[in-house]
Structure 1
């Protein structure tokens, strides 16, 4: 169920590649459902109880659903009535993680990019991984890959079921307060509850590779059977040193407990991407892979879809799209844009009323280093509006703090007009947010949506 989602479609691809007969359904047709159909996965638009019991989809043996699906949903009720196993998506991921050597990537930020980098690096090193990623990896042309080596998976903390899982190697990027609060099935009531779940995953994993640069992460790793660290910190087991940033990325040296392992490069700007790449190379080293070949693969890596994705140019301006939607991600994306040496122009779409209510001051502060910010309305993501919560909270705080280049522009045609008339060779224009702001980047370069 929900096969058009980025995670469920990856499951469908993996299971189909393993030889299982896979079908799925979703509320509406998308590019992902169209591609699944081309790949031989039967997809229905809309939900119906008959999908469980009648041809061409049923009768089925297992129904996979996320925790976001109401237990009273007709397809779930039909499955229970027919004695069909209902398997939560995290239970399916658990089975894949425990089937052999595995790497599970956890944390609040950077999971998709880090998981992609690990899979690409392991592939470059000749280790033939399987992969489950929350984004399209250009090197695979997919969000999934089937191989005979380690299984690499992005483990999404928005699904509470992740706390019951563990991996051979847990890569722990960071821990903040995203997906907390509200009444949604995929949200945690408190940050303490969510962080306890991170600690539980860590304790249930064979070993942990944690970011030494993230404050407080060590406190969540006290239950680890074996703890290794990565980062720029002097006490990290794997360190990135001698960083040499340029407009297109960063070159650096990888050191393991004082021993130089390899020279590396990441073709994505920002310190956060150096750390993501370092985690990937450390994972390759822990699995006995060829680091020289892994480094070469990472040097060519352009990022998964919507993670610092270069879309094209407009009047010489570089157009980039990024999924950044909370303050830490936004700040990292703005810092990456500054590294290019261009004038930084951001089109930002706040995501969810609750998230905006919780973090609008931090979002405003994270955008202050951009030269220009064009602010869209909040992307509701099916949430009802919250009285008094509006995108202008962000713009008004930025203006009050002295930013002279922020404008609230809810009319998308006006955003396109402004940028088309003013874009120049010295600019970088970043469409930023978890909603549908990505469409503007494609429209700016004349690409098909």
Structure 2
């Protein structure tokens, strides 16, 4: 059953005394969630984005004004009334015409993390941090709390099927995905910080959303934790306890013997994993996650731990998680092709790719991956690890690198991955940049014993939907 707590005002609704927020990049997965949360609180919301998308169309249908393109006239022309606050991410240059026009007009320019900080401080809050698993863990926490009757609000970097949205408005607590790619996250804190892991993603280069060094990024995680009332950390990820040395209160979850919340007696099957949950040695009950992979057991365990901390009934939360099919682009079941299961997954760095391949292996099917490397810098930093992470797949079809607005780096190409895999003995890897040929090969060879996984943070998701045919659901990130 779909939970639809966001009752949207009609487009002609007036907002006496409420501020008017204008969101740049409103079609992004994060900004669109902000738009929905602000609108549900009674604020007037408008925004703009470079191009039309499913998300911009949905926002317009909900009564939120969206202009396509970026221009100073969005501010100076008052197309949708006088703007009080312009919200932009740190990725937007300070010299952007809309930001310049706002400053000249005396309009507050509020970074998106400042807006998230305001929401986190408004009441009991749960902030999910880490370099992997944030979207799935945040979704699971919100679904578990809602299943237990706690009526959470939520801010998620993906579409949660149970909510039909990337946002949910409730009485509380507020559950938020806190993205470390915006360096201002380190100035925030929450009542409970759920710390999934810490690796070297979003590090290096000169992008506004990247950290100079992994040490600086990890120091940011440590600051967030220290500014929170307590941290719930993954005991299975080495080094997190050191980053949490400044925490006021520390709890842990995982399979590790010394974890406070433990997943024990794991019973994997092709569709997911059943397991038991204990808290400091006492059994809380039996749980199940309907997504394969040990990483999803840990994500679900974090959600059940948060539910326990906030007083939710265990069995009801566990039942909600057992029925949870995952957020958009996180092991998302798109459909079937000639009996083959077609999955789409956002995995784009080595740890996520390895976890997705392991999840695919758990299905017991022949694992066929269509992988699109993401960003030249990320590929330069990690192509050997990406190649190694893909080795357990039976077949890998490699697309060209998704640039994501980056300038190509000489010598950095998808074939670095395929050549390393071939050199290490893999006989089923092919560099296949022609998407028509990818579709042809898979359509003619897909069989009932296969799982086909389109994998990456670019537009590879489109191939999964083309394989399945018209009507395949899903929203890209």
What TM-score, normalized by structure 2, do the two folds share?
0.93
Consecutive aligned runs of 4 or more in structure 1 exceeding 3 Å deviation: none
CA deviation map 1:78-109 (0-9, x unaligned): 11111111110000000000000000000000
Q: Hey, what does 1:57 align to over in structure 2? A: 80
User: Equivalent residue of 2:265, what SS?
Assistant: strand
**Displacement of 1:448 after TM fit?**
4.5
1:113 matched to 2:136: yes
SS at match of 1:22: strand
**Distance in structure 2 (CA, Å) of the matches to 1:125 and 1:270:** 24
Answer whether contact 1:51 1:58 (CA < 8 A) is retained. Answer: no
2:4 aligns to what?
Answer: none
What is aligned with 2:364?
Answer: 341
Q: 1:220, 1:248 → 2: CA distance?
A: 35
Q: Distance in 2 between matches of 1:52 and 1:98?
A: 29
C-alpha separation between the residues in 2 aligned to 1:60 and 1:315? 53
Give the Cα separation in 1 of the matches to 2:192 and 2:432.
Answer: 45
Match of 1:156 among 176, 179, 195: 179
| 1:225 maps to which of 233, 236, 248 | 248
Rounded to whole Å, the distance in 1 between the matches of 2:346 and 2:453 is: 10
Larger deviation, residues 55-64 vs 19-28: 55-64
Q: Is the 8 A contact 1:135 1:304 kept in 2?
A: yes
Q: Which runs of 5+ in 1 are unaligned?
A: none
Asked if 1:285 is matched to 2:297, the reply is no
**Per-residue deviation at 1:52?**
1.8
Name the residue aligned to 2:234. Answer: 211
Q: Map 1:57-96 to 2 at 5 A.
A: 57-96=80-119
Which residue number corresponds to residue 333 of structure 2? 310
How far apart are the structure 1 equivalents of 2:70 and 2:380? 33
Instruction: Please say if 1:190 is aligned against 2:213.
Output: yes
Are 1:437 and 2:456 counterparts? no
Aligned length: 449
Q: What residue is the counterpart of 2:443 in the other structure?
A: 420
RMSD over aligned Cα atoms: 0.7
Paired with 1:430 and 1:314, the residues of 2 have a C-alpha distance of 12
8 A contact 1:254–1:278 mirrored in 2: yes
- After superposition, give the CA deviation of every residue in 1:426-449 in whole Å (9 maximum; x if it has no partner): 000000000000000000011347
Match of 2:44, SS state, is coil
Partner of 1:133: 156
Q: Name the SS for the 1:414 alignment partner.
A: helix
TM-score, structure 1 as length reference: 0.99
Q: Name the CA distance, whole Å, in 2 between partners of 1:15 and 1:53.
A: 22
SS, match of residue 358 in structure 1: helix
Q: Where does the alignment leave 5 or more consecutive residues of structure 2 unmatched?
A: 1-23, 473-477
Encode CA deviations 1:138-186: one digit per residue, 9 max, x unaligned.
Answer: 0001000000010000000000010000000000000000000011000
Cα displacement string for residues 379-405 of structure 1 (whole angstroms, at most 9, x for unaligned residues): 011111100000000000000000010
